[in-house]
Amino acid sequence: MSTFRFFAVAGLSLCSIAVIAQESPGLGELVSSDELAALDYAVLPNGDGLPAGSGTAVEGSTVYQQYCFACHGDKGSGGINDALSGGHGSMTSKSPVKTVGSFWPYATTVFDYVRRAMPLSSPGVLTNDQLYAVTAYLLFINDVVDENDVIDAKSLPDVKMPNRDNFVWGYAPGT
Amino acid sequence: MAEFDELPAAGNGLLDRRFFLRAGVASGAALMTASASSLERQEWMKGPGAGMSEAGAPSSHESHVVRASIGSLTGTTGTGASRTPLQLLDGIITPSRLHFERHHSGIPDIDPDQHRLVLHGLVERPLSFSLDALARYPMVSRIQFLECSGNSGASMAPEPAQGTCAALHGLVSASEWGGVPLSVLLEEAGVKPAGKWLIAEGADSAMMSRSVPMDKIMDDAIVALYQNGERLRPSNGYPMRLFLPGWEGNMCVKWLRTIKVVDQPSMTKDETSKYSDLQSDGVSTLFTFPMGVKSLITSPSPGLSMGAPGLYQISGIAWSGAGKIKRVEVSADGGKSWADAALDAHVMPKCLTRFRSAWRWEGSPAVILSRATDESGSIQPTRETVLKGRSTAAFYHYNGIQAWHVAENGEVTNVYV
C-alpha cells in the first residue's frame, strides 16, 4: 500500500478501522498487570475497581477531622468549600442544596472521587482503610449508614443513596 | 446606489445581508476625516523598526485583549475558569493564548518524556503509548469549537447579569485540533465485545475523569496533540487531551493519562454531582453530551458602546454540536422581525461560524438578537423555552437566544426579552 493511500484511509474514513489497524505503526507497548494495578483508579457502581480494605464512620470521623474538616466544616456542613451533608429532600424546592447525601446517586462515587482528588492539596495521602473510613463517615453524616457499619468493596456498592431513583439518562447507547 | 444598497431586510434598520458585499465598508468610513498630523510621516517611520524574535507577541497596544473573569474556588488557585474575550475577537479561530480555561485542580507541569497514555480494561492487549510513539501515527486535524457546558449559566439568573461577552459567554473557543483518532489506538489494543464505554482520566492532581460511550469514540474522537499548529498549551492539556467534537468540554479530558474500557459508565463525580441537569420536579438527566445550537452577537455587545448613529456591522458567532450552522437570523426590533445574516466563507461542522449583518442605527433604543439554525434543523431556543421545567439550581447546557439592549447613548446592556 502506498504512503498516499495509508494517510488517505486514516484521514478520511473512520469506517475502515480494520484497514487503519493493519497500517497503524503498532507502537503501543504491552503493560503488565502489576503496572496496571498501580495506575488503575477507576471504580464502577457495581464495585469493580474497589481495592481491599475497610473502615467505619467511627474511624472515619478521625480521618475527617484531620484531613477534611478545614475546608468542608463540622460534620460536612460546609466551610470555605462545598457542604458534604444536608439538603435532603430539597431538590424540588426553590433553592435545592446539592450534597453527597441529598444529590449523589451512587455511594461508589464518593470513594472514587475522594481517592482521586481529596484532600485537595495532597491527594493520595490516605490509605485504603482511611478512604473506606472517611467514605463511611460521609455516608453516616448523611444518615445513609450507621456509625459502626463496615464499608468495604463488598458493602459499598450495596449502599443505596437517597436520591438514586431520581436520575434518568440523556444518552441512549447506539444512537 | 444608496437606495439599492440599503435595501431594508427587517425592522428598525436591518439591511440586506449582501449590503457589505456590494457596497464595501466605505460609505460609513468615508465620513470620517483624518486629522492632518496623522497623515504626516510618523515617528516609527523615521528609522528601522524592531528586529526579529523567536516567538511573537501581540502589539503592546492590544494588552487589554486578555482572558477575563478569572475565578477560582475559595482557597484554591486552579479550581475554576478563565474566559475568552469574545467581544474583542473576530473570525472563528481563538488564539491559543486566549482559549478559555476550566481546571479542577490546577495545571500540571508534565514532563512529556515521562508521560504515557495507557489503554486498558476490556481490551485484548493493554497498551502504553509515549508521546513520541503517538506522533508517528496518522493524524487528522479539524477546526472545531470547544464549549464548557456551564457556559452562559449566568443567563439562568432571574435578573439579567451585566457583563461582557467574555464574562457571560466566554467558555467557548475554537481551534484547529490535530491528533490521532482514538479508534486507531483502541483497534490496536483490541476492544472486547463487552466494551461499551470508556473512562478517560487526566494526569492532573484531581485525576479528572469522565465516562464516554464507545459510539462517540469510534465516530470522531481524537487524542489531540496539536492546537492551532503547535503542541497543546499546558492549560489545554499538554502533552495530550481527549477531544470529542461537539460534546461538552468537561469530557474532553486534558492531560490524558489512562483510558479504561468498561461495560458501563463509572458515574464519576463530574458526571453525577456536576454536569447533570436538574429539573424542577427533582429528576436529573445524566449524560447530556452534545452542545446545543447557539449564537451570540459579539459586536455590538456590553463594553463595546455604539458611537454616533449611522451604519454599523452586527457581527457574532454561531455553533452547534450537531454539525454545521445552516442559518443565522438577526433582529434589531426585539424579535418582531428577523433578517438573514451573511455567513463568512468558513462554515464547518461543530465549529464556530462568523455571521455579519448591516444595520442602519438611527440612534433610538433598540434590542438586538441573533438566532441560529443548524443543519439538523434545530433552531436556537428562546430563554423561556430553555428554562421550562428546569430547576433554579440547573446550570448546564444553556443555549437560549441572547438579547442586547442598545440605549440612545449607545451603551449596550444585557436584557431578557
Give B142's contacts (C-beta < 8 A, 6+ positions apart): B176, B177, B245, B348, B350, B351
Q: Which residues of B touch A73 (CB under 8 A)?
A: none
CATH of the domain at A130: 1.10.760.10
Q: Is residue A70 part of a domain?
A: yes
Grid coordinates representing B300?
A: 455590538
Among residues 176-205 of chain B, which lie with CB inside 8 Å of chain A? 181, 183-185, 187-189, 196, 199, 201, 205
Q: Could you give the CA distance from residue A50 to residue A67 in angstroms, rounded to a whole number?
A: 21
Grid coordinates representing B129?
A: 503509548
Q: Is residue A101 part of a domain?
A: yes
pLDDT for the residue numbered A11: 41
Closest-CA residue of B relative to A172 is B287
**B276–A167 CB contact, under 8 Å:** yes
Q: Which of A28, A166, A175 sits opposite B283 (nearest CB)?
A: A166
Provide the residue-wise pLDDT of chain B in tens; the chain has 417 residues: 444 468 899 999 999 988 876 654 444 444 455 566 789 999 999 999 999 999 999 999 999 999 999 999 999 999 999 999 999 999 999 999 999 999 999 999 999 999 999 999 999 999 999 999 999 999 999 999 999 999 999 999 999 999 999 999 999 999 999 999 999 999 999 999 999 999 999 999 999 999 999 999 999 999 999 999 999 999 999 999 999 999 999 999 999 999 999 999 999 999 999 999 999 999 999 999 999 999 999 999 999 989 999 999 999 999 999 999 999 999 999 999 999 999 999 999 999 999 999 999 999 999 999 999 999 999 999 999 999 999 999 999 999 999 999 999 999 999 999
Grid coordinates representing B51?
A: 528586529
Counting the structural domains of chain A, the total is 1
pLDDT for the residue numbered B19: 80
**Beta bridge mates, B32:** none
Query: Is residue B412 within 8 Å of residue B162, measured between CB atoms?
Result: no
Q: Is residue A44 part of a domain?
A: no
Q: Is residue A41 part of a domain?
A: no
Query: Is residue A1 within 8 Å of residue A23, measured between CB atoms?
Result: yes
Query: Is residue A54 within 8 Å of residue A150, measured between CB atoms?
Result: yes
The DSSP call for residue B226 is: E
Q: What is the pTM (predicted TM-score) of this model? A: 0.93
**B138–A11 CB contact, under 8 Å:** yes
Q: Could you give the CA distance from residue A71 to residue B366 in angstroms, rounded to a whole number?
A: 48
Q: pLDDT digit string (tens) for A27-57?
A: 999 999 999 999 999 999 999 999 999 999 9
What domains can be seen in chain B, in order of their start residue?
117-279 (3.90.420.10), 294-415 (2.60.40.650)
Stretches where chain A sits below pLDDT 50 are: 1-22
Q: What angle do CA A159, A162, A168 make, to 5 degrees?
A: 100
Considering chain A, what is the average pLDDT of its residues?
Answer: 89
- For A114, the domain range is 54-162
Q: Is residue A147 part of a domain?
A: yes
Q: Could you give the CA distance from residue B357 to residue B327 in angstroms, rounded to a whole number?
A: 12
Q: Is the ipTM of this complex over 0.90?
A: yes
Give the C-alpha distances (Å, rounded to integers) separating A59 from A86, A106, A123, B37. Answer: 21, 22, 19, 79
Which of A114, A116, A175 would best serve as a mutation to test chain B binding (most B beta carbons within 10 A)?
A116
Helix (H), strand (E) at residue B186: helix B182-189
Q: Is residue A26 part of a domain?
A: no
B299-323 b/e (C-beta count within 10 Å ≥ 16 → b): bbbbbbebeeeebbebbbbbbbbbb
Q: Is residue A122 part of a domain?
A: yes
Q: Is residue A33 part of a domain?
A: no
Q: Rounded to a whole number, what is the distance in Å from the CA of A90 to chain B's nearest CA?
A: 8
Whether the CB of B321 is below 8 Å from some CB of chain A: the reply is: no
